[in-house]
Amino acid sequence: MLIAPDPRVGMTAYQKALLNFLKVAPNNGVPTLSGANILVVQIAGMGDFTLATPAIRALRHANPSGKLDLLTSVKGKRAADGCPFIDSIDTLDFLDASQTVGISSFRLLNIISKIFEIRKHRYDIAINMMGLYSSKGAVRMGLFLRSLGTPLLAGRNTLGTGCFYQHAIQENLASPQNERDTHLSLIRHLGVESEDNGELKIWPNEEDEQSAQTILAGTKTKGPLIMVNPGSDRPEKNWPKEQFLQVMFALRETRGAKFLLAGGPAEAQLCSHIASALSSDAFNTVGKISYQGTASLMKKCDLVITSDTAALHLAWAADIPGVALFKKENLGRYRPATGKISCLTGNEDKNMGILNIRPDEVLKVCLEKIDMAS
């Protein structure tokens, strides 16, 4: 079973021709990164950035006197803001927010403008941290990166579609490896080693800490304080609201638990509904605290319950117990490398479009985590 979509499936003759046009000769040497102007490209989500921070931190240590900039998505910027390893952050989203296929004319003009803006920085190397999981995405990324004018490109050659990289690691989708470790493999290929075993980091600032304390002041409890992230922007990763509530009611009744509800704008309505159902025993933090502030809140919690989304990687970084709900095929790339977080897997219910895991299984593991810590 592949751990991500095969980008070669459905590839047209036109797309194959474009990739062949973009193809460059591989460079088997190690680039000089000390003193270089480096652009890290990670046009992805908040959790993806969190998993990339060990590699980015190692690049910073290997290049203390040069420039290290980040190009990410608008979502990714929310996770990257304040990162002490990055000099500057810029954003680019290939698709409009309401768009699911193709690139609009307006968006294309923005991309072209962004390319000219990036070219002015004269980067020595651009490192794309993400894999290539569709034929359209591979061609689009290749055209974009080759347009930046950087002498060197580095990334993950996913099943041969990353032929436009001079420096690349081979990504075999049948061999599961955590995304953090894949990022570290890529920078190791560039001659950079992580000096702290790839530890994930968080960096809440004073405002984040104050926001966390304000929220915590209204959640006094003798029982455990549990953070719940009940949704994601990917419907196939979601677990039914009713089943989250079933587990939360049981934790309240058996252990006197109170809850902090977390998530992004896409989860605002869902969190509001769950908060209403639990009344004063749940506080909805959506829109009230930053991404790093959420990490600060987690540090004060006894447990995190989450789907496979950014909150999972924050819980790993915050080093607290957790229970994560996974699609089986996503486990290889995103399972956290810590014994503190238990991962339960299920298949997507094709009729409901949501994850199928029994609530009693989730409750059992939650109770074990809580009792172990008490």
Q: How do residues 199-251 score in pLDDT, each as one tens digit? A: 999 999 999 999 999 999 878 778 999 999 999 888 888 899 999 999 999 99
123-145 CB burial, b ≥16 within 10 A, e <16: bbbbbbbbbbbbbbbbbbbbbbb
Mean residue pLDDT across the chain: 92
Domain residue spans of the chain: 13-189, 206-373
What pLDDT score was predicted for residue 261?
97
The CATH class, in words, for 13-189 is alpha beta
DSSP for 89-155 reads: EEE--SS-TT--SS--HHHHHHHHHHHHHHHTT--SEEEE-S---SHHHHHHHHHHHHTT--SEEEE
What CA–CA distances, in Å, run from 222 to 144, 175, 252? Answer: 54, 45, 11
What is the per-residue burial (b if ≥16 Cβ within 10 Å, else e) of 327-346? Answer: bebbbbbbbbeeebbebbbb
Look at the alpha carbons of 280, 282, 287, 288 in this order and tell me if their dihedral is positive or negative.
positive
What are the residues facing 217 on neighbouring strands? none
Residue 95 has pLDDT above 70, yes or no: no
Q: How far apart are CA 308 and CA 255, in angstroms?
A: 25
Query: Is pLDDT of 353 > 80?
Result: no
At 170 the pLDDT is 94
What is the tens place of the pLDDT at every residue in 144-194? 999 999 999 999 999 999 999 999 999 988 877 899 999 999 999 999 999
Q: Is 220 exposed, middle or buried (0-12, 13-18, 19+ CB in 10 A)?
A: exposed
Can 13-189 and 206-373 be said to share one CATH topology? yes
Q: What is the pLDDT of residue 285?
A: 95
What is the average per-residue pLDDT within 129-142? 95
Share of the chain above pLDDT 90, in %: 80
For the structural domain made of 206-373, what CATH number should be given? 3.40.50.2000
Whole-number pLDDT of residue 99? 40
- Other beta carbons less than 10 A from residue 228's beta carbon: 28
